[in-house]
A and B are shown apart, each in its own frame.
Chain A
Amino acid sequence: MGVLSTLIRGLVRGADRMSEFTSKRGSRTHNKGRGARPAGLKLPSTKFLAIRAMIPELVVPPLDGFKLRPYVSYRAPKGSEPPLTAQSLFDEVVAPQIKKDFEAGTLSKDQLEKYGFEPTQEGKLFKLYPKNYVR
């Protein structure tokens, strides 16, 4: 609407060649998508076969007794927790176990898997690198 009103003012003539040609412009029969991921297969008989696994499904855990809500009150002050880093996570989760085993004398460098060390990302569903999950 803004583009057309500037045209009507008579200062500039002609079609708008520089804006992006989206599915909102063009005629009714002009069918253009906005980049959605396919949710199935296009069959050779011009039919579409929807595959259940390709359609995204939201998995929500049960929220009974969940106290957090969409918005936060204005009265809440800024939090004082330091941002979570890999170093801090290691210090909280892994370091105490290693220290305990070292003091007991059972620490061995070949058995680092029990502390969470992963030598390869093969065979894992959610790989850390290359990252294949959204969050």
Chain B
Amino acid sequence: MRLTALLSMAARVVVPKDYRYGTNRPWTVAAKRLNPPGKRRRKVFVEPIAPEEWPVLRGDTVEILAGKDKGKQGKVIQVFRRRNWVILEGLNTHHRYIGKTPDYRGTYIASEAPILLHDVALIDPSDRKPTEIEWRYTEEGERVRVSLRTGRVIPKPVVERRDGIVPQQWKDGPKDTSTEDALEKTYIPSLKTLEEEVMEKLGIQENRRHQRSYWY
């Protein structure tokens, strides 16, 4: 029981009610270092936003309205719903050393800090200026984001696959079935099972039948 308890601790993390969520995922070593069990921190107040009303999606282009990089536009890399944070690519950065060892001073990299959703605005594609957003329904019944200033619909960003494959630019390998062959309809409906059809085609005749058997 001791070993299974130990191994299951790594699988699912139980997080206390007043856990302060940071940029690290709660099951990582860095998060456990910053928030060890039993640590109590001052409570952060997060404006509650309903899940349906959340305006910014990963991959959207947004503009920063306040802070160091005010006025710049960037792509959203990560979204933290628990703290209403958004991380943009290459913006609102501070510099730090990473991979420090006793003999090496570490690599100096720029790391992005999260920005509150309130300080960020979606960009209207028609004039590329920040706007307020509302969720509305189209004639077809689709739920879309509409810019309040111009009334233009802001399309959802294209979700990139984690493995980086763009389906439209894929080159077929030797083991890939081509699209036409895969979509070809060759099924002829019949009342025979696959095994019966194959036996008929290959001319196999099976006259033996199963023996009657029982199980309890």
Interface residues of A (CB under 8 A from B): 2-3, 6, 11-12, 16, 18-19, 59, 61, 67-77, 79, 81, 84, 89, 92-94, 116, 123, 125-126, 132-133, 135
Contacts and interface: CB of A to CB of B under 8 A. Distances in A.
Contacts of B182: 68, 72-73, 76
Nearest to A133: B195
B3 A18 contact: yes
A133 B193 CA distance: 9
Interface of B: 1-4, 6-7, 165, 167-168, 170, 172-179, 181-185, 189-191, 193-196, 198, 201-202, 204, 206, 209-210
Given A68-B177, A81-B185, A135 B195 contact: yes
A74 B202 CA distance: 34
Contact of B198 (A3, A61, A71, A84): A61
A91 B104 CA distance: 75
Contacts of B183: 76-77, 79
17 contacts: A2-B7, A6-B6, A6-B7, A16-B3, A59-B202, A70-B175, A71-B177, A73-B172, A73-B182, A75-B168, A76-B177, A76-B182, A79-B183, A89-B189, A92-B189, A126-B193, A135-B195
Contacts of B193: 126, 133, 135
Q: Which 9 A-B pairs have the closest CB atoms?
A: A74-B170, A74-B167, A76-B179, A116-B191, A69-B177, A67-B181, A92-B189, A73-B176, A76-B182
Contact of B1 (A6, A18, A77, A93): A18
B211 to A, nearest CB: 12
A6 B9 CA distance: 13
Given A16-B3, A73-B172, A132 B177 contact: no
A97 to B, nearest CB: 11
A72 B183 CA distance: 10
Contacts of A77: 179, 183
